[in-house]
Structure 1
């Protein structure tokens, strides 16, 4: 069963064999959870959204078209759920620049010249980078955060992001530009706060 293509498993589910969805879920859950964790530092929330994504996928399976990759279709569901959650819990940036842990301060000294994009990209390698990346990403508007995570962490192209979010490529490019500008501005604030804390 492991060797069956996703499309065959989908056809089996639609044909009445609901157990085949368990195989689809097991196959894609790790990737879904990893994507959710790129948007939310709270592991429990990421798992909840991953689970909700699988439920949504199951109930919407009839809308899946076999000519498109199942993985891309599923990613669109996950991304849209994350986007909805980001819009629900949107906070003001000023509330997010608070005290830093000693490891964060130490790491900030090392990356003082790194770009915010590099910090986001590095976030899977180091815990301090992960925390700082989420702190930076938390300051972005939900639309900008979606584009930044999909572009820098998921390494999707502009056209892939546009297809996933249902936006025009022009909108994605504008959002990517705005996200980079906002991240740089926020990174400067964070680094300045870290430096003043040391003095």
Structure 2
């Protein structure tokens, strides 16, 4: 089944610009898969996936009058989404270090538990601890993050990680060692930080 033609896309956009709320809702429903896919692929450390999606939708609607109809609407939305994600990443790179103030109350509680006990974390802290791990992994390069995720979150062997990344087992070991050291340093820094 073929998608809408550029002319139909342009009609939809013009209806949205004319404040047709039903058409605006239909537009959001239609572009949601594109926005979600791009946001997930370019997920950022300090911005929740839902918040970043909202930023993309806001940008799409604020720039909608620029849509010319020469390409499918989804292609135009994808460009806007990628640009929004890229801009947010540039913003993060200006302040790349994860800070305790960036954490939610639940993640902060997990940090306090890590600092005060050697026992396993309680079950209610599982979600926040996973989010904290994701934030810490976000401090690594994309390749190191992939290696650490495959090794420690998915439980893959060194050989499997080597096949997935095209690197030798020795290279995987070295990168994992260095990444663990960087993660430890980041975690220690967070543990030493105290909120005012």
Question: Which is higher, the Rg of structure 1 or of structure 2?
Answer: 2
